[in-house]
Amino acid sequence: MRKPNTSTAMKMLIEQIRTALPFEKPEHEICAGKCVGCAKKMLEYMGSELDHYQCQLDNGEIPTLGELNDLARIAQKVHRNMVKNNLV
């Protein structure tokens, strides 16, 4: 079985992140109750990163392994914060 190229891997990573994080939750649910860090700002930041990389893919740019690693690392940190805030 062949490993995917970096473009395919980035598309898969973006889809996994969009599925794993609560982007669809309304603001009043995100900002209710326990708050460890600002979940709303973290989701906005993560969304802008995903849009940035999706735009690069749409323009035919090929992501590097470093970019894949950076996006995955940021997403893991944001996900941990969402868990602390009981949002996932």
Q: Give tens-digit pLDDT for 39-68.
A: 889 999 999 999 999 999 999 999 999 999
For 3, which DSSP code? P
Distance CA 75, CA 69 (A): 10
Measured in degrees and rounded to the nearest 5, phi and psi for residue 83 equal -65, -45
* Domain extent at residue 14: 6-21+35-84
Q: Into how many domains does the chain fold?
A: 1
Position 3 pLDDT exceeds 90: no
Any domain includes 48: yes
Any domain includes 29: no
Residues in the chain: 88
Q: Which residue has the higher pLDDT, 39 or 19?
A: 19
Which residue type, as a one-letter code, is found at position 42? M
Measured in degrees and rounded to the nearest 5, phi and psi for residue 48 equal -70, -35
Give the predicted TM-score (pTM) of the model. 0.87
